[in-house]
Structure 1
Amino acid sequence: MLGRLFKLFVILTIIGVAFYFAFNIIMSALVHSKKEVVLPNVIGKSIYDATEELSNAGLGLKKDGEEFNQNVPAGVILRQNPSAGMNVREGKLVRVTISQGGEMTYVPNLVGQTVRSADISLGYSTLLMGEVSKKYSLKADKGIVLSQDIAAESSVDKDSVVNIVVSDGPPPEGVILMPDFVNKNLEEAEIWAARCGITLNVAGEKISNIKTNTVLKQSPESDTDVTDLESVSLCLSVA
């Protein structure tokens, strides 16, 4: 009984080994029957263009991963494996790493902050403070941010530069700044204009639920230097 089992085991082992070698021979023949092609360079190309080019060469594409890259747009190939120029068999899968573009962040609202506070806010958002310009202001104390050149809540690349304009305080004697008359009564604007020798160009607009002679819009905007202007424009609510 044991002898028969041993003989059966030997026969099955021989069949298994023969099958293994026959399978390897067949697969090797199939592989070597495929012609060799030169692997094209797909770095810097979009995933669509790379797939098409590799397909035309009888090759396949497999995405190996994605990485953030400030200098390469999203969807463009950063690396390939094997390298371009190598001789490979048709049917070879080329592994690629694709750019996700620059890592994005939101711009904080800096208006109303001090320069130091604004710098800290930008740092938390992985942004950089750029040029700090100054201008006289009637509406903000000296050292307070008046405006920024990338709007708050905008989505930008990390390490982007945000320039700001900071109040230099009230203007010196001889410099006239446009006050903020919006939502104020015309009489206040008339007193200012008379004192500064500036003519008011007034237009009316019917707006319900707003008191008559309330300033709706003005030109130029507040804090604009109007020293050399002869007139400014106001739009008022009228009955």
Structure 2
Amino acid sequence: MLERLFKLFIILIIIGIVFYFAFNIIMGALVHNKKEVVLPNVVGKSIYNAVEELSNAGFGLKKDGEELNQNVPAGVILRQNPSAGMSVREGKLVRVTISQGGEMIYVPNLVGQTVRSADISLRYSTLVMGEVSKKYSLKMGKGTVLSQDIAAGSSVDKDSVVNIIVSDGPPPEGVVLMPDFVNKNLEEAGIWAAHCGIALNIAGEKISGIRTNIVLRQLPEADTDVTDLESVSLWLSA
């Protein structure tokens, strides 16, 4: 009985060895039967276009990693391995490194800061202060940032330029600016309008939890020059 089991074990080993060598011979023949093709250049192309081009040429694609690159948009191939122009067999996997784009920076909120403070905030965030414009304002004191052309919290590239508008203080005599009436009572707006000779166009909106005659919206917005306007519009809680 043991002799039979031993012979069976030897036969199985021989069959396994024969199968192994036969498999390698067949696979080797299949590989060597594949023709060699010049590898296309996919560097600088989008991942979608690279997959399509390599597939049409008989190759596969494998992402080898990603890197931040200020000069190359996200999703574009930075490097490939093997290199373009090499003659390789069909079916080979081409490994690629993909750009993640530039380092993204969140824009700080500059409104309400002085120009110097805003400049420091931008430098700290690796951003650059651009044009500084001035505008008369009733809302903010002179030298205070009124607005910025890239909204706070926006995601931008490192070294992006942020322009600001700074308060030049209250307007001179003869220039009328629209006050900020939002969340204020209609009576206050009425006194201002009568003093400036400007009519109020009033509309009501039903808002639960808010007492009546409170300004919800206004047009034009605060600090707009209304010197030559005959009327402005207010939307009140009803």
Instruction: Tell me the TM-score normalised to structure 2 length.
Output: 0.79
Paired residue for 2:144? 144
Q: What is the letter of the counterpart of residue 101 of structure 2?
A: G
Match of 2:44 in 1: 44
Deviation at 1:172, TM superposition (A): 0.8
Following the alignment from structure 1 to structure 2, what is the Cα–Cα distance between the partners of residues 186 and 61? 67
Q: Per-residue displacement from partner, 1:177-223 (whole Å, max 9, x unpaired)?
A: 01111222222222211221111222223334433322222111110
Report the equivalent of 1:224.
224
Q: Give the match for residue 22 of structure 1.
A: none
* Partner AA of 1:204 in structure 2: G
Instruction: Give the residue type in structure 1 aligned to 2:178.
Output: M
Matched residues in 2 for 1:202 and 1:29: separation?
Answer: 87
State how far apart, in whole Å, the 1-side matches of 2:29 and 2:173 are: 94
One-letter identity of the residue aligned with 1:172: P
Q: Does 1:206 align with 2:231?
A: no
Aligned-residue offset at 1:128: 1.8
* 1:18 paired residue number: none
CA shift, 1:28, in A, is 9.3
Alignment partner, residue 94 of structure 1: 94
- Paired with 1:90 and 1:205, the residues of 2 have a C-alpha distance of 70
Q: Which residue of 2 aligns with 1:56?
A: 56
- Distance in 2 of aligned mates of 1:31 and 1:180: 77
What's the C-alpha RMSD, in Å, of the aligned pairs? Answer: 2.6
What is the distance in 1 between the residues matched to 2:117 and 2:64? 42
Q: Residue 77 of structure 2 aligns with which residue?
A: 77
CA distance in 2, matches of 1:53, 1:80: 13
Change (3 A) 1:203 1:91: closer
Distance 1:209 1:38, change over 3 A: closer
SS at match of 1:202: strand
Query: C-alpha displacement at 1:30, in angstroms?
Result: 7.9
- Secondary structure of the residue aligned to 2:95 is strand
Instruction: Letter of the 1:80 partner, please give it.
Output: Q
| Residues 63/202 of structure 1: CA separation in 2 closer, same or farther (3 Å cut) | closer
Deviations 1:129-183 (A, max 9, x none): 2221111000101111111122211222222222211111111111100111122
Structure 1 stretch displaced more, 207-216 or 141-150: 207-216
Please tell me whether residue 178 in structure 1 is matched to residue 178 in structure 2. Answer: yes
Partner of 2:7: none
TM-score normalised per structure 1: 0.78
1:35 aligns with 2:35: yes
Count how many residue pairs are aligned between Structure 1 and Structure 2.
214
Q: Counterpart in 1 of 2:13?
A: none
Partner of 1:14: none
How many percent identity over aligned positions?
86
What CA deviation, in whole Å up to 9, does each residue of 1:70-106 have, x standing for no partner?
A: 3433222112233322323334443322111222121
Instruction: Identify if the C-alpha distance between structure 1 residues 87 and 220 changes in structure 2 by more than 3 Å, giving closer, same or farther.
Output: same
* Structure 1 residue identity aligned to 2:227: T
Unaligned stretches of 5+ in structure 1? 1-25
Structure 2 Cα separation of the partners of residues 31 and 179 of structure 1: 80
